[in-house]
């Protein structure tokens, strides 16, 4: 994947990003025209941004917010077994006496490799992800910023988004989701998007 991107404001509120993840392949339970999907265990290689209070601490020693190159996957426990545990774990994570135990268990279920990016989001930068079996590499303006050896089972689909949501998974604050009020409109601008299989010529998706 290759593209150039910038945001309309320097510090967007919520999350944004682009790359590949498996949500498009979650089990669809569409009913009467309404899509109701069972969430897929997260598998992704992407550039991801979250503004405070977003706080997903997946790698020890790294902040849970900011602009990052990241690869992540859920451990091999069947998702059908994880769903009940997650439904119980979210409310329990709000109890101070259980918070660190519950959040620590949740963090151990997600394998991740991340690298914070010190970039001006409002300026144009070029981004590249090379995803191969057993390896993914991330480049910004032609410079490699992260290499991950996480094996991602796939399939993964392209995604690009900007929203005003946040998520928390930290020993101090527990696990929660929410939305943030916006003081001004915000947008993510992308140009020159091309997705290329390693054995075929690139397919340009935008002018």
Q: pLDDT tens digits for 41-60?
A: 678 999 999 999 998 888 88
Per-residue confidence band for 202, with pLDDT thresholds at 50, 70 and 90: low
- For the chain, the domains span 2-204
Q: Which two tokens stand for residue 151?
A: 């094996």
C-beta of residue 12 within 8 angstroms of C-beta of residue 166: no
User: Considering the entire predicted model, what is its pTM?
Assistant: 0.78
pLDDT digits (tens, 9 = 90+) for 86-126: 555 555 455 455 555 555 555 556 788 999 999 999 999 99
């Amino acid at each position: 994947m290759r593209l150039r991107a910038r945001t309309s404001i320097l510090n967007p509120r919520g999350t944004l990003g682009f790359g590949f993840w498996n949500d498009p392949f979650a089990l669809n339970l569409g009913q009467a025209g309404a899509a109701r999907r069972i969430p897929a265990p997260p598998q992704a290689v992407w550039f991801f941004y979250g503004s405070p209070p977003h706080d997903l601490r997946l790698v020890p020693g790294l902040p849970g917010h900011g602009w990052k190159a990241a690869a992540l996957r859920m451990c091999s426990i069947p998702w059908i077994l994880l769903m009940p545990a997650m439904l119980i774990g979210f409310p329990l994570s709000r109890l101070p006496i259980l918070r660190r135990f519950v959040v620590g268990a949740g963090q151990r279920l997600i394998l991740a490799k991340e690298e914070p990016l010190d970039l001006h989001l409002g300026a144009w930068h070029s981004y590249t992800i090379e995803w191969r079996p057993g390896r993914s590499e991330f480049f910004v303006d032609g410079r490699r910023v992260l290499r991950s050896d996480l094996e991602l089972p796939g399939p993964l689909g392209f995604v690009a988004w900007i929203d005003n949501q946040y998520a928390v998974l930290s020993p101090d604050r527990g696990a929660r989701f929410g939305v943030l009020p916006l003081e001004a409109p915000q947008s993510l601008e992308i140009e020159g998007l091309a997705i290329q299989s390693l054995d075929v010529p690139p397919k340009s998706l935008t002018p």
